Amino acid sequence: MSVPVRFARGAAAARGPSARRRRVEPVFYFFLLPTLVLFTALVTAPAAVGIFYSFTDYVGFGDWSFTGLTNYVALFSDPSVLSAYEFTIGLALVTVVVAQVAALALAIGLTGRIRFRAALRTVFVIPMVISGIVVAYVFSYLFSNTLPSVAGALGLHPLEQSVLGNPHLAWVAIALVSAWQTIPGALLIYIAGLLSIPGELYEAAALDGASAWRRFRSVTLPLISGFVLINTVLGLKGYLNAFDVIVALTDGGPGTSTTSVAMAIFTGYTGGDYAYQMADATVFFVLTVVVSLLQLMATRGRGLRL
């Protein structure tokens, strides 16, 4: 055994098990405690109270009594609730695909050898700093006035009426606006991922005669798969909570064709149906937890932590 190795082992033995443990400075607890108290008081405790009342007939004030699973049984047999979940999940799946494809295409273009790359990146990031409700109101005017006028001039008769008033097309407008607002965030993550790929890999692939599509499929996509996963998970979780864009564009209409789960819960809660909507919120919370668990399972082994 060499002298340095014996010395290292001797020093470790002299320090003992307690010394080898990583010591946590008390100041960290000082900063953690206020945050923990506030999070418990403002998030955890209200959530626990809401779950408790979901098993009652509480209307938001006055007396109440336990009803067991009555609210949950009624929830899963309510066509309007099932329709809201169907719309929300469908919207989230469609929008996340549109947003990720567009963001990745823009990221590839903005990391290429083009002029004014920095200025263009700034322009494409602007939607991220604008309020969602403002963006939605602007697009509401475009869909209700500008688009029908342009469609009428071009002879596109199906689009002469506002798509927001069409129960079969209103969700398309919501998906486009939601994607437009969230593309900048995904774009920044993709740019970071693309810039982390060594240029030598592309040079070697080009020397081997690989086409641009083959380089993208065999080099780019595998190396940014972790970034694709991050954007997909974050986007899906965000679209499941869609609210402000829908309120500004359609307010859940026409009829209830674009009513999301978040809108249904809020509308029912303000209408005095407290316990029933708490049951709906609990089910929605479980759905979000399942998505988060799937995220953790998908990122395990990739060195990713969200």
Q: What pLDDT does 230 receive?
A: 85
If one counts the domains in the chain, the total is: 1
Q: Is residue 61 part of a domain?
A: no
Domain harbouring 281, CATH code = 1.10.3720.10
Q: Is residue 28 part of a domain?
A: no
Count of C-beta atoms within a 10 Å radius of residue 4: 8
Domain that holds residue 136: 78-299
| Tokens coding 227 | 């970034």
32-41: burial string, b at 16+ Cβ within 10 Å, e else: eeeeeeeeee
Q: Is residue 156 part of a domain?
A: yes
Q: Is residue 52 part of a domain?
A: no
Q: What pLDDT does 37 receive?
A: 93
CB 306 within 8 A of CB 230: yes
| Tokens coding 208 | 């081997």
Q: Is residue 32 part of a domain?
A: no
Higher pLDDT, 16 or 217: 217
Q: Is residue 12 part of a domain?
A: no
Q: Is residue 22 part of a domain?
A: no
Over residues 208-257, the pLDDT tens digits come to 888 888 988 889 988 998 888 888 888 888 888 888 899 989 988 888 88
Q: What is the mean pLDDT of residues 5-34?
A: 64
Q: What pLDDT does 171 receive?
A: 93
CB 243 within 8 A of CB 281: no
pLDDT at 113 over 50: yes
Q: Is residue 159 part of a domain?
A: yes
Q: Taking the model in full, what pTM does it have?
A: 0.80
Over residues 162-177, the pLDDT tens digits come to 889 888 889 999 999 9
Q: What pLDDT does 233 receive?
A: 84
